[in-house]
Amino acid sequence: MSVSKKLRVGILGASGYTGADLVRLLLSHPNVEIVLMTAERKAGLPIGDVFPHLAHYDLPDLISIDDIEWPAVDLDVVFCALPHATSQEVIKGLFHATKHSLLDEMIVETTSDLADAISKEVKVIDLSADFRLRDIDVYAKWYGREHSAASLQPKAVYGLPEVNRAAIAKAHLVACPGCYPTAALLALLPVLQAGQILATDIIIDAKSGVSGSGRSLKEANLFVEVAEAIHPYGVGHHRHMPEIEQELSLAAGEDVRISFTPHLVPMNRGELETIYVKLADGVTADQLKAKLVETYQGEPFVSVLNGETVPATRMVRGSNHCVLNVFEDRIEGRAIIVSAIDNLVKGSSGQAIQNMNLMMGLDESTGLTQAPMFP
Amino acid sequence: MSVSKKLRVGILGASGYTGADLVRLLLSHPNVEIVLMTAERKAGLPIGDVFPHLAHYDLPDLISIDDIEWPAVDLDVVFCALPHATSQEVIKGLFHATKHSLLDEMIVETTSDLADAISKEVKVIDLSADFRLRDIDVYAKWYGREHSAASLQPKAVYGLPEVNRAAIAKAHLVACPGCYPTAALLALLPVLQAGQILATDIIIDAKSGVSGSGRSLKEANLFVEVAEAIHPYGVGHHRHMPEIEQELSLAAGEDVRISFTPHLVPMNRGELETIYVKLADGVTADQLKAKLVETYQGEPFVSVLNGETVPATRMVRGSNHCVLNVFEDRIEGRAIIVSAIDNLVKGSSGQAIQNMNLMMGLDESTGLTQAPMFP
Amino acid sequence: MSVSKKLRVGILGASGYTGADLVRLLLSHPNVEIVLMTAERKAGLPIGDVFPHLAHYDLPDLISIDDIEWPAVDLDVVFCALPHATSQEVIKGLFHATKHSLLDEMIVETTSDLADAISKEVKVIDLSADFRLRDIDVYAKWYGREHSAASLQPKAVYGLPEVNRAAIAKAHLVACPGCYPTAALLALLPVLQAGQILATDIIIDAKSGVSGSGRSLKEANLFVEVAEAIHPYGVGHHRHMPEIEQELSLAAGEDVRISFTPHLVPMNRGELETIYVKLADGVTADQLKAKLVETYQGEPFVSVLNGETVPATRMVRGSNHCVLNVFEDRIEGRAIIVSAIDNLVKGSSGQAIQNMNLMMGLDESTGLTQAPMFP
Amino acid sequence: MSVSKKLRVGILGASGYTGADLVRLLLSHPNVEIVLMTAERKAGLPIGDVFPHLAHYDLPDLISIDDIEWPAVDLDVVFCALPHATSQEVIKGLFHATKHSLLDEMIVETTSDLADAISKEVKVIDLSADFRLRDIDVYAKWYGREHSAASLQPKAVYGLPEVNRAAIAKAHLVACPGCYPTAALLALLPVLQAGQILATDIIIDAKSGVSGSGRSLKEANLFVEVAEAIHPYGVGHHRHMPEIEQELSLAAGEDVRISFTPHLVPMNRGELETIYVKLADGVTADQLKAKLVETYQGEPFVSVLNGETVPATRMVRGSNHCVLNVFEDRIEGRAIIVSAIDNLVKGSSGQAIQNMNLMMGLDESTGLTQAPMFP
């Protein structure tokens, strides 16, 4: 891709925290120009009215999705940071509006001439949950409604680059993983696939910062309710469960059911998962660690820490990094894997950009190299 | 006990957070007069110089332990909030200084005339880890030193009132449980003893506020290191492990090994444990809950929450309460028990006072009835 | 008052943070029984559904104000913790319903037989802003509406006990001061009245915890908006301004206009005011301090700190205390007074109970002696 | 400067928070290579042992200053992030070791051939307080010791780029302003110089995050002491006072004495100053604002907010931005200026890099364009 021509990027749903972090990161991306940002209730306002920290940047005003002039705006990439259910409707509409071949049941052949395809059809990166679950019955069960873009579902690629790089590069519609699934899958997929751990006994204790709950006005998200406190939520029925299970099942070659309990921690950002696993006969924690080290050798955004260093969210704050480590459990035959990410970056907006880079033939790290912010 | 005569109480180690919370709670205790407070490095100072929030109360100045005039001070109760290792030395010395019968290998018979015994011999409530582990070899292994008051160890009673009420009432030396063990044991002992869960597969994921680390100057306790972050620590080798295992083994009638991983949470107080257990054949999560409800019926400080309400640390902040609930796990045959306490109250100073009340024949709740502080 | 007979107390608006702290404190009050709690949107629920930390206490379910059976409930005291504007309507209605003499323009004579008066007429303690401003035109200007209980206004007593003790003892309707005015007036009234500072140059820089904003669903109160940040708000037009000015003007004997700027601090509780004053000719900071020391000698809840100790909110957390100190300013002829309170206690619910104690002839400190909670 | 050749940069004192933020920002700087990092107590360790969030970057191990091989390392720029007093010794030694012309009392002429000068002599950017105060007697008074590099003092340039751009560009030794002075001076210098405010009545109420106190082990910096609380410190005698006064006096053309009171806020980063000023006769708050708007027109890092928008630290978190606004005070003839920066960026490391850019002939914004991080 030529340096001089920038990708024309749109952000649908720019008034949430995920949208804000997309803007933050894209402003540092050398190959991107943000040409469109939407927010239904804030349509007409400058972004600075919604996010004053962005007031000083040259960004388009917020508009309503209905006011997008589709072919004219000539987007290369759309990030869709809308609530689930809304997302599938909007993406379907967008493909109609742009006469996208995905809707014509005719998947674009990826040729060596990727640049050509790009110039013709918009690439969509969905940050909602709408296209993550391959089985629309599972979707219906967990989200309490029928999927309204069922024919698009099979064409969506699950956007975990470390696992799915090749498919993402060819995709026109990528479903970015949830934050909890990202931290869990990076820790578990390699060792499960290698048969090093049992598929029947995976327990994930997850802890998240409050930005994961979004900017909506819920009592549970008020400062006073959260500060100086911790509690679990969604015990036994969090919507990230089927997503994690889907990907683990693929890796295990069998149906996997997990135990997963998220907790709300008084911090803005960050996600930590402490994962308790049962080792296959004769396997040691050291072998798990060796497997992860080998898998992520050369990966720009996933590191296995040295020695007994414990992953901590402060190590990845604001960055697209995931840090992992493995520990022997005191119960023989068990091990503990700890995984930390920034829920808004590797868990959402950063990973979305990583996907965009792959889809557009850019270096995967472009615009994502800024160091974590500590303090 | 006559209302008019107050117990003469001493606090050894009053300059730490545990000491501060002892003072806070004892100031509201109708039957107590604090007549002595020690702090080695702060000896000679008024307590207000060390804890300005206590400046306005009528409290004795801090002195050195060496400067206690033992018989003259005529203490009824000593709270020992000293670092481990120091504690055993000091308690041994204290028993010598007061010619205490415990040292004479002659355990005082508890008679109906408890008041008489009280007037003669000081009761010691140790908040350190020094007398918690019954097996001094286990102590030596986990604390890296020989126990220097080995003959006293068998006379110490493990001070978890809900379990050990009768023995505590007769004891002269009570070892208060650690904060993590308190939250874990209240959740686990009844169901383990009833054979409802397997002893071989208990996984405790614990989260604690920073006051649990004490007031010592460690980089890890600096605001900037802790705020806006979460991380596990002591993975696989935390000193509360053998303590939990000791009490669970007693209940199970077999040797129990647990998985236990504590995490540091950016909050001052509070402790939450999410405990993953495997159910015995045919047992359901509902039966676990019923067992806990039955066990804690009538207990002043332990509650099992209704329905799906999740225990949260903000429900117990500043109070001696423990809240529990049980949830079905998504993995069949598993359940999740959640337990929340205030680490400084039920996890330390409040429980110590609860023990004192029992030892001195007072109503167990005296001075401990203040409601949690939320916000 | 006889110990055996408890005051029958009602709390109107029990589902806010102020209501929660009233309940917390009243549960420790030896002379009070909470017999009625209202919350319009939560009517019918047990308090534990709204405030789980109160689930374990023996408290009445929440009802609607409309469902109060007025004479039957036989209240001695009503705390009104409703939003402003609502409060005046409800109090007017309450006086009608109870045929209260205040409405008959016939102020009850306080006799030595206070118990008699109590048995006849309910005492109302209003925690809202509705009866604080004596001039209903000032009220109309700052609150954007006419006062709807104008005839009651002159009968309300401004409930700052350290200043207004005698009038409060005789009152049937007390308007509790706002949190900001409380911290400011305790610092300023004595020195202004003594002519030690100029009335024309009082600058109050105030910092508050988030509970001061209440439990309402505003984006500005979300955890993510507040944590890791600080900002001023209401610059130049905060509604506590006219209240502070009203009381300062009374003390100064002239119209006072102040500079007042509140800031939102990422903490649940606590309020700190740093007050910049200009000294009258020849007056020193030491003389200011001496005046405050003298004024608050013997006061149970206001202390002037020793030496250069700076007031900090952690010194008063959860307690009804106010701590003050005075410092020389670097600009000659100026001084700095620092004042710290807990906004929910001395700034609201605690002060309300202090007023109740005075109104009912109880010792002023009853139920308010618990020590601050630090950590 | 050629893009291909990177500046060889050394960081003295890389184990503090200021050092960490220098590294974070310089890692994104396209023209910089970090070739040397020192930390006396951590010498020999990889940076990842001290700052795990930096473990994944290609950075040199920490060494002792004594082990620097001066000419061989061939540095272009040295950032000195050492404690005061140490800093002056080290910089003097460094100039000796590199036979720097500054020591020879022979100031290098800045020619159009700046690249030439750069290739010969190291540029030093000091982040400590050591070279900020022009009058070494004032230094001695406030720091309690004689300055040990007195002859270098006059050659140091005060590194506030918005004010001192030309001098900085020519300097070999720049003294970076303190964080409090930066926020204050950007707000005050233009309006003071223009005679719009009185020099005799400037009151600065400042609030800072905890990283401003550094990583040293002080009880006051422990999480538990800071969280859920606020307090002032250094009232009347903070060392940033004489620095602010020095620069204001230059602008005013007369000796200025200020009132300045800093407060510790429970957040990692961020600094807010609420500044109370007295207007010159006939001047309005609007005119102040107009002056600031005019002054900072075109500045990359200083913005005056629109309308009544209040500056908040969350608007600048992690960035080199300063946001300002002006408000009418309620006291006639007064105004309030609010200024917010990130104390570690514009208040320290970011400003240091801005100075480096100027000194090395780079675009002033290079490496400093990343957007603020909110959430």
Q: pLDDT at residue A362 above 80?
A: yes
B318/C373 Cβ within 8 A: yes
- Mean pLDDT of all residues in A40-67: 96
CB-closest option in D23, D52, D344 to A375: D344
In this predicted structure, what is the pLDDT of residue D112?
A: 43
In this predicted structure, what is the pLDDT of residue B102?
A: 86
D331/C201 Cβ within 8 A: yes
C24/B372 Cβ within 8 A: yes
Nearest CA in chain B to A271: B230
Q: Distance (Å, rounded) from C-alpha D158 to C-alpha D156?
A: 7
B176 a catalytic residue? no
D228/C268 Cβ within 8 A: yes
Structure tokens at C327: 């410092």
Condensed to tens digits (0 to 9), the pLDDT of residues C214-271 reads 999 999 999 999 999 999 999 988 999 999 999 999 999 999 999 999 999 999 999 9
Q: What is the pTM of this model?
A: 0.96
Q: Distance (Å, rounded) from C-alpha B145 to C-alpha D281?
A: 76
Q: Distance (Å, rounded) from C-alpha A28 to C-alpha A48?
A: 18
B321/C24 Cβ within 8 A: no
A218/C217 Cβ within 8 A: yes
Residues of chain C with pLDDT under 50: 1-2, 106-119
- Please report residues of D whose CB lies closer than 8 A to that of B225: 223
Q: Distance (Å, rounded) from C-alpha A10 to C-alpha A193?
A: 37
3-state class (DSSP) for residue A300: coil
Give which of C213, C369, C374 to mutate to test B binding, by max B Cβ within 10 Å: C374
| φ/ψ of residue A267, rounded to 5 | -150, 155
Give which of A223, A317, A348 to mutate to test C binding, by max C Cβ within 10 Å: A223
Condensed to tens digits (0 to 9), the pLDDT of residues D227-242 reads 999 999 999 889 999 9
CA distance B49 to chain A (A): 26
CA distance A228 to chain B (A): 4
Give which of D226, D228, D327 to mutate to test C binding, by max C Cβ within 10 Å: D228
CB-closest option in D200, D270, D276 to C276: D276
Q: pLDDT at residue A108 above 60?
A: no
In this predicted structure, what is the pLDDT of residue A124?
A: 97
Q: Distance (Å, rounded) from C-alpha C320 to C-alpha C280?
A: 32
D228/B223 Cβ within 8 A: no
C315/B375 Cβ within 8 A: no
In this predicted structure, what is the pLDDT of residue A105?
A: 52
CB-closest option in D229, D261, D312 to C313: D229
CB-closest option in A203, A229, A312 to B270: A229
Condensed to tens digits (0 to 9), the pLDDT of residues D305-340 reads 999 999 999 999 999 999 999 999 999 999 999 999
Interface of D with A (CB under 8 A): 17, 20-21, 23-24, 27-28, 48, 51-57, 209-211, 227-228, 268-269, 303, 305-306, 309, 312, 314-319, 321, 344, 369-375
- Mean pLDDT of all residues in B150-167: 96
CB-closest option in B217, B225, B268 to D227: B268
Give which of A29, A32, A56 to mutate to test D binding, by max D Cβ within 10 Å: A56
| φ/ψ of residue B206, rounded to 5 | -110, 145
Which range has the worst mean pLDDT, A244-248, B363-367, C105-109, C217-221? C105-109
Q: Distance (Å, rounded) from C-alpha D150 to C-alpha D124?
A: 16
Q: Distance (Å, rounded) from C-alpha C249 to C-alpha C256?
A: 5
Which range has the worst mean pLDDT, A321-325, B3-7, B160-164, D32-36? B3-7
Residues of chain D with pLDDT under 70: 1-4, 104-120
Condensed to tens digits (0 to 9), the pLDDT of residues C49-60 reads 999 999 999 999
Q: In 3-state terms, chain D is what percent helix, strand and coil (to 5)?
A: 35, 20, 45
| C-alpha dist (Å) from residue B348 to B213, B354, C253, D263 | 12, 10, 54, 32
In this predicted structure, what is the pLDDT of residue C105?
A: 52
State the complex-level ipTM: 0.95
Q: Distance (Å, rounded) from C-alpha C20 to C-alpha B373?
A: 9
C266/D236 Cβ within 8 A: no
Q: pLDDT at residue B99 above 70?
A: yes
3-state class (DSSP) for residue A281: coil
Q: Distance (Å, rounded) from C-alpha B182 to C-alpha B302?
A: 11
CB-closest option in B203, B225, B310 to A232: B310
**Confidence band (pLDDT; 50, 70, 90) for B104?**
low
- Mean pLDDT of all residues in A316-324: 98
In this predicted structure, what is the pLDDT of residue C4?
A: 62
How many Cβ pairs within 8 Å bridge chains A and B?
151
What domains does chain C contain, in order, with CATH numbers?
7-176+347-359 (3.40.50.720), 180-343 (3.30.360.10)
Mean pLDDT of all residues belonging to chain A: 94
Interface of A with D (CB under 8 A): 17, 20-21, 23-24, 27-28, 48, 51-57, 209-211, 227-228, 268-269, 303, 305-306, 309, 312, 314-319, 321, 344, 369-375
Residue of A342 and C3 predicted with greater confidence? A342
- Please report residues of C whose CB lies closer than 8 A to that of A266: 223, 227
The separation between the first and the last C-alpha atoms of chain C, rounded to the nearest angstrom, is 37
Q: Which residues of A are catalytic?
A: 179
Place of tokens 């309620």: D330
In this predicted structure, what is the pLDDT of residue D99?
A: 87
Nearest CA in chain B to C213: B375
D53/A315 Cβ within 8 A: yes
In this predicted structure, what is the pLDDT of residue A71?
A: 86
Which range has the worst mean pLDDT, A263-277, A304-318, D96-110? D96-110
CA distance D16 to chain B (A): 12
